[in-house]
Amino acid sequence: MNVKRKIILLAVACGISTAALGQGGVFGVPNLLKYDKQLFHFGFMLGYNQFNYKIASEPDLAAYDSLMTINTQSLSGFSLGIVTNLRLGKYFDLRFIPGLSFGDRYVNYTIRHATGNELVYQKNAESVYLDLPILFKYKSSRMLNNIRAYVVAGGQYSFDMISAKKKKNMNSDEIVLKLNPHDFQAQVGVGLDFYCTYFKFTTEFKMSFGLVDMLYHENNMYATSVTSLRSQVMQISFIFE
C-alpha cells in the first residue's frame, strides 16, 4: 500500500472514529450498559482490502530460458459482511461474519526476449470471494467508559465465485493463470469498540494468511515455474452493531 493511500485510509478511519466518539459522549456517561450482557447481537461490516499472494517459484528459473523473475502485485478491493456475535463470557465472543470480498491481484513475469529487451507480462487474478470466517474475540474491560480494545483470531473458508480454473486459453500469447476456487486461511486482527448512544461502532485491522496452494498447475511456463501461490489479504473494517 503506498503512502498516499495509507494517509487517505487513516483520515477516513479517524473521521469515522471521531464521529462515533461524538455520539452521546464516549468519555462521559457509559452507553449501552445492557449491550454486553446480550447472548446474541448482529450488525454489518464494510471493509477495504488489499489482496496479494505469497509466491514460491522454482529455485532455478534458468530452466525456463528467457524467464528472469516472478513477483506479485497487490491491488485494492472492498468487502461486505453480516455480523453475528455470540457472547461466550465477560471477555470472550464467538463471531461469524459471512460476506463477499472483491479484489484483484497480479502475478508479474519478467521475460528477456532475443533482442535483449526485458518485458513484464502481467497475469491478472480477479476474484469475488464468498467468505465464511469463524473468529474468537478476546476483549478488554471498558476504558474511558465507552471504549474496548480487542484481538481476534480464527479461520476462514473462501470460495471464489469467478474462479479462472475453468477458463480456456484463447491462444499461446494469452495464457490464463488458473486458480483453484477453494481457499482456507488463518486470520489474526486487532480492533477498537466504541459504544455510542444507539449502536456500537468498531474499527478493525486484520490479516489473512492462506494455508493451501491456490494455483492450478497446468503444463505451461507460467504455471510450472511457480511451486505454490498462497493468498495473503490485509483488511481494514468498519463495523456497526
| pLDDT tens digits, one per residue of 52-96 | 988 887 777 666 667 777 788 888 899 999 999 999 999 999 999
Question: Amino acid identity of 241?
Answer: E
Q: 134-143, 173-182, 202-211, 213-222: which has the minimum mean pLDDT?
A: 173-182
pLDDT, residue 56, reads 82
Residue 29: partners with Cβ closer than 8 Å, 6 or more residues away: 145
For the record, the C-alpha cell of 214 comes out as 491456490
Place of cell 447481537: 41
In degrees and rounded to multiples of 5, residue 40 shows phi and psi of -125, 145
The pTM of this model reads: 0.80
Would you state the pLDDT for residue 223? 78
d(Cα 139, Cα 151) in Å, to the nearest integer?
7
Cα distance between residue 239 and residue 152, in whole Å: 14
Q: Write down the domain spans for the chain.
A: 3-240
Q: Which three cell numbers stand for residue 110?
A: 519478467
Q: Which helix (H) or strand (E) holds 12?
A: helix 3-21
Report residue 197 as a C-alpha cell: 448512544
Give CA–CA dist 42/103, Å, rounded.
26
Contact indicator for 93, 41 with CB cutoff of 8 Å: no
Residue 101: pLDDT band with limits 50, 70, 90: very high
Taken as a whole, the chain contains a residue count of 241
The pLDDT-based confidence of 3 (bands split at 50, 70, 90) is very low
Residue 78 identity (one-letter amino acid): F
Please, are residues 68 and 105 in contact by the beta-carbon 8 Å criterion? Answer: no
Burial of 233 (0-12, 13-18, 19+ CB in 10 A): buried
Q: Residue 40 in contact with residue 84, Cβ under 8 Å?
A: yes
